[in-house]
Amino acid sequence: MLIGELSRRTGVSTRLLRYYEEQGLLAAGRDPNGYRRYGDGSVVTVRKIRVLLEAGLSTEVIRQVLPCTKDDGPEFDWCSGIRDILDRELAVIDDRIEGLQRNRGAIAGFLTRPGEH
């Protein structure tokens, strides 16, 4: 199928589909006229990419993790060092949460202080 059909079947814009390819997430063949040609598997690949993206993973992490996903559900077939990569992601998220909690505490403090208005 061409990019337009893949776009309709996945709900992802052609712009993004080309971007995914540029990021090494989605493979595409080429027709003699230069048009990208996709196989049926591309539909599930795009769905997996979306799930992973919604988990907040960067395209770089997805590139490493995608080849180790199972055909059906987006999730994994624990090969290579996927666990380490994902564990590291969890750690950076925890760090962000800590920082946000500090921000929250500071702002909440401003609100509990009697205003001079």
Binding site for DNA (CB under 7 A): 2-5, 7, 12-16, 18-19, 33-36
Under 8 Å between Cβ of 28 and 1: no
Under 8 Å between Cβ of 72 and 35: no
**Total residues belonging to the chain:** 117
Give least dist CB 1 to DNA, A. 8
Give least dist CB 104 to DNA, A. 28
Give least dist CB 87 to DNA, A. 26
Residue closer to DNA by CB (options 21, 89) is 21
Under 8 Å between Cβ of 70 and 76: yes
Residue closer to DNA by CB (options 32, 109) is 32
Residue closer to DNA by CB (options 37, 102) is 37
Strand extents, DSSP E, the chain = 29-30, 36-37
